[in-house]
Amino acid sequence: LKTAATANDRLSLLPGTPSWTFDFTQQPNSHFSPGGVINANAATFPAVTGNGITMAIVNLGPCSQLPPHFHARASNYVVSIHGDIQTYMIGENGSPTVGTLLKPGQMTIFPQGAPHTMWNTGCENAQLVSALSNEDAGTMNLANALFQFGDEDEELVNAALGYQDVVNGASKGRVPPSGSGANYGPKSCLAKC
């Protein structure tokens, strides 16, 4: 699709309705325990190739979160559909932390490359719609990246953390894998629910 010379050439490579329909509810991450991010991007829905956007549904079970992460190649527009969602974003070193509490029908923007996180503050399932400004947005979870560096050089990462013994042999495997994109959030919220 990327090497097709014209839009008409791309269209001829995607014949029929199945090539042009993406069902978010039939994807592996379409669940709320703890939650999942379902992306319609160049890899999962080839029809978006050349159209410059990824659409996603974010399902968050009670108290679940998307851990701190960023998108290397896209800005992210997020709209709450169901539930109250607390978000945080930092633009760059020295920027203030921007927090929003999204109610259904409200949105926020996370600029390209800005670390951000969000969590369902309630005891019911929550859902968001996310539009990313690239069909290959790229997602990097910050804790996973930090601990992956630690797999290579624990001393270097611990120095970056003020010489605390955070990354060590005992810490391997303690950060949840990226998996579905979501994990359980604050223990205080989980206890309440």
Q: Which residue bears the tokens 């955070």?
A: 166
pLDDT digits (tens, 9 = 90+) for 66-114: 999 999 999 999 999 999 999 999 999 999 999 999 999 999 999 999 9
CA distance 10 to 40: 17
Residue 179 pLDDT grade (very low, low, confident, very high; cuts 50, 70, 90): confident
CA distance 65 to 185: 5
- Chain CA centroid to CA 59, Å: 11
What domains are defined for the chain? 23-139 (2.60.120.10)
List own/partner pairs for 98-104 with CB under 8 A and 24 or more apart. 102/78, 102/128, 104/80
The number of beta carbons lying within 10 Å of the beta carbon of residue 57 is: 19
Q: Is the pLDDT of residue 17 over 80?
A: no
Q: How many CB atoms lie within 10 A of CB 65?
A: 23
Give the whole-angstrom CA distance, residue 10 versus residue 24.
23
32-59 per-position pLDDT tens digit = 999 999 999 999 999 999 899 999 999 9
Which residue pairs, CB below 8 angstroms and at least 24 apart, start in 147-152?
147/171, 147/172, 147/174, 147/175
Beta carbons of 179 and 34 less than 8 angstroms apart: no
pTM (two decimals): 0.89
Q: What is the pLDDT of residues 154-172, one digit of tens each?
A: 899 889 989 988 888 777 7
